Amino acid sequence: MNSKEVRALSTEKIQSELENAREELFNLRFQFNSGQLKDSSRLRVTRRTIARLATILRERSIASQIAAQKEK
């Protein structure tokens, strides 16, 4: 999922996707440590997805704070 696709989603959907990605990362780490993970590159991809989702959520949070300050 690239940045343009993520930005098109609602905040609630992004939070849901972030939760799912974190759960997936946990499962991938568990599989990696137990020797069951075949494609270890999925760890990197999932970490980057989490970072992308968290960054966009943070951008929206900052934008709403700035908007609230301008209204005062």
The pLDDT tens digits of the residues spanning 14-29 come to 999 999 999 999 999 9
Q: How far is 42 from 36, CA to CA, in rounded Å?
A: 13
Residue 1: the pLDDT is 83
Cα–Cα nearest to 21, from 51, 46, 58? 46
The whole domain housing 36 covers 3-71
Q: Enter the pTM of the model.
A: 0.91
CATH number of the domain that 57 lies in?
A: 1.10.287.310
* pLDDT for 72 beyond 90: no
Q: Which residue has the tokens 């209204």?
A: 71
Q: Which residue has the tokens 């690239």?
A: 2
What's the domain count of the chain?
Answer: 1
